[in-house]
Amino acid sequence: MNTKFNIQFKVNELYVFLHAINMNQEDEPFNGWAKFTNAIWENDPAIFYFLAGAPEHILYVKSTADYKKLFAKNLRVLSKIKKSKEFKRLIKETKQYKLFLEKQWNENKASALSILEELSGLPLPNKTININLSHPALRNGMAIDDNNIVWGHKEEYQNYSVVYICHELLHIMTKHDNSDVLHAAIELLVDNELRIRLNKKGKYFEYQNHRHLKEIEKKLYPAWKQYLKQDKKNILQFAKKYEKIKRG
């Protein structure tokens, strides 16, 4: 295993807040959050709409200087928000989540990363990857770039977060190739095989992943079982071999 590879969990309070007020967010981190954010909107709709966009692009993707300047100007509204009991609770619970994740990761990382390298045939990144956390009651999971993953989710089964952090890590290892066939192969590798090996129980397709990939995964499955028997594996070569598999 690459000894220079590392995972670092981070709680960026601004990101936690912006993710929680994103207008595409369907859930509340806790009861009363919607009322709290509605009050922000009623006080200044323009600032709310500005803040409630996609925070990943503001904080982790390079923005234009003008956009950063405009964002900084509108952040003044946060001085009052940060003093609220709702904001403080949001951050406190996310920091508690960080401690939970660090324990889960440290207990399982050796096995999980060994499986990931073996099955993918790819090396782990020669660097530290930041896992930027959001509140665990809200759905979140994405590889933003080669250095940053955003994550936050309730635990739906044993070692759930370890499995899906490995999923996002594999997106980085495969150069962010967003083709459906490669993404389906990643789900077969991590969401299924790695989960089963790590937890020493379970079966394929036991849990719902991306619905639009399910049919491709079922078509790939016979070839995938043969792939697992190979001495030399490479998930990129596997996906390229079957890139013409389509849904329908």
What local confidence, expressed as pLDDT, does residue 60 receive?
73
What local confidence, expressed as pLDDT, does residue 63 receive?
58
Q: Which residues pair with 6 in a beta bridge?
A: 128
What local confidence, expressed as pLDDT, does residue 225 receive?
97
What local confidence, expressed as pLDDT, does residue 114 receive?
97
Residues 6+ apart with CB under 8 A from 65: none
Tens of pLDDT, residue by residue, the chain (248 residues): 556 899 999 999 989 999 999 878 889 999 999 999 999 889 888 778 777 877 887 677 655 566 666 666 666 778 889 999 999 999 999 999 999 999 999 999 999 999 999 999 999 999 999 999 999 999 999 999 999 999 999 999 999 999 999 999 999 999 999 899 999 999 999 999 999 999 999 999 999 877 788 999 999 999 999 999 999 999 999 999 998 876 55
Tokens of 248: 């329908």
Residues 6+ apart with CB under 8 A from 71: 50, 58, 63
- From the list 50, 128, 32, the residue with the least C-alpha distance to 87 is 32
Q: Is 71 exposed, middle or buried (0-12, 13-18, 19+ CB in 10 A)?
A: middle
Q: Which segments of 40-177 are extended strands (E)?
A: 128-133, 140-143, 148-152
Q: Please report, for residues 136, 159, 221, 229, 241, the alpha-carbon distance to residue 190 in angstroms, rounded to integers and kept in the order given.
A: 21, 12, 14, 16, 19
Measured on CA atoms in the order 114, 163, 193, 234, is the torsion positive or negative?
negative
Sorted by where each begins, the domain ranges of the chain are 6-176
- From the list 19, 12, 17, the residue with the least C-alpha distance to 86 is 17
Which strands, in side-by-side order, build the sheet including 6-10?
A: 6-10, 128-133, 148-152, 140-143
**C-alpha to C-alpha distance for 71 and 66, rounded to whole angstroms:** 9
Q: Is 123 exposed, middle or buried (0-12, 13-18, 19+ CB in 10 A)?
A: exposed
Residues 6+ apart with CB under 8 A from 99: none
